[in-house]
Structure 1
Amino acid sequence: MGRRGEWLAAWFLRFKGWRVLARRVKNARGEVDLIARRGKVVAFVEVKWRQRTERLDNAIDAYRLRRVAAAAEVLMHSYARKGDIVRIDVLLLAPGRFPRHITNAFQP
């Protein structure tokens, strides 16, 4: 279900005016599900899909956010330009529920 969740998340971001730059980018430090840009903001997005809405509250933890941030640190030079704002976002998805977009989810 992970790829379907990422596909839905990409469409949701496009609907909100984002341009998806890359999907499922891996490196030695971790993986980023989606990389998206809107204006001067580049977001490295972790996508979580759960079958039950109640399980979304526990879908993301500090360990996972640190891994996404570590991967983003390596990748940001390829996707962000000077003066861009770079952040880690989370998109939580479940059937029958509007996606929840958590902006700037990682604070080191």
Structure 2
Amino acid sequence: MVDGVHSEQVAARYLMRRGWRVLERNWKGGGGELDLVVARRRTLAIVEVKSRSDRDRLTEPVSWAQLARLHRAAEAYVTQRSRDGDWDSFRLDLVTVHRRGWRTVVRHVPNGLATPELLR
């Protein structure tokens, strides 16, 4: 079984090993919560961490209601924190974490939750 808190820790370590700096964990605002906010060079990424005990369920989409809350929270974060960083690009990424036998498998999908409304 993979729980949400453990998955967020695993995802944060995975991203840090790849050069991302964790700016926030479980940031609340705009009516939602952001699992991770990370930055690398001049790119800011809002990261939704999705964990499942069953690999097949990783393909279950994030609901439109969840996506709307995530977008509102991301917009609130960027609005409140825009003066804290000088970012050229902004992404809404997905990180999935699941167990395969005794191994924990992590997959990072850049722009995995982007929609046309977010990219306007």
Q: Shared fold by TM > 0.5?
A: yes
Aligned length: 108
- 1:106 counterpart residue number: 114
Q: Indicate if the aligned counterparts of 1:25 and 1:33 stay in contact, CA closer than 8 A.
A: yes
Q: Indicate if the aligned counterparts of 1:24 and 1:31 stay in contact, CA closer than 8 A.
A: yes
- TM-score, structure 1 normalization: 0.89
1:14-64 deviation digits (Å, cap 9, x = unpaired): 111101111001114211000000111100100011001001000523332
Report SS of the residue matched to 1:99: strand
**C-alpha distance in structure 2 between counterparts of 1:82 and 1:12, whole Å:** 24
Name which one, 1 or 2, has greater alpha-carbon Rg.
2
- 2:99 counterpart residue number: 95
**1:1-108 to 2 correspondences below 5 Å:** 1-77=3-79, 78=81, 81-96=85-100, 97-104=104-111, 105-107=113-115, 108=117
Structure 1 residues 89 and 43, CA gap change in structure 2 (3 angstroms): same
**C-alpha distance in structure 2 between counterparts of 1:95 and 1:38, whole Å:** 27
- TM-score, structure 2 normalization: 0.81
Gaps in structure 1 of 5+ consecutive residues: none
**C-alpha distance in structure 2 between counterparts of 1:2 and 1:83, whole Å:** 28
Report SS of the residue matched to 2:34: strand
1:40-98 deviation digits (Å, cap 9, x = unpaired): 11001000110010010005233322211110101013156344211111101101353
Gaps in structure 2 of 5+ consecutive residues: none
User: Counterpart amino acid of 1:42?
Assistant: L
User: Counterpart amino acid of 1:10?
Assistant: A
Please state how far the C-alpha of 1:4 moved relative to its aligned partner.
0.5
